Amino acid sequence: MSNLSINDIGSKLFSLKSDLEIIVYSLQKIRENGLGPNKMVPLSVIAAESKANSILNLVIELIKLLTDRSKNKP
């Protein structure tokens, strides 16, 4: 396993952020439109959307931390 540079970590986090945004958007649309002919929304979709939003916010915080770290680098 190799060590990643700050830039590599940032790049991976931005990629993860983009993927999570797509997942959150998709779950939101499922929640809004329902599934199947009865337009039911499983509780698992609501829970998954909430969890995905939470993870997305954590990834954004990590990006901000690394950005601050890069700016203050000696």
Which pLDDT belongs to residue 42? 93
Residue 1 falls inside a structural domain: no
How many separate domains does the chain show?
A: 1
Give the type of residue at 1. Answer: M
Q: Is residue 23 assigned to a domain?
A: yes
Question: Is residue 25 domain-resident?
Answer: yes
- Asked if residue 18 belongs to a domain, the reply is yes
With tokens 């969890």, the residue in question is: 51
- pTM metric for this prediction: 0.84
* pLDDT greater than 70 at residue 72: no
Confidence (pLDDT) at 74? 56
Structure tokens at 41: 């929304």
Residue 21, in any domain of the structure:
yes
Please give the Cα distance from 49 to 63 (Å, whole number): 21
The residue segments making up the domain with residue 54 are 6-35+42-71
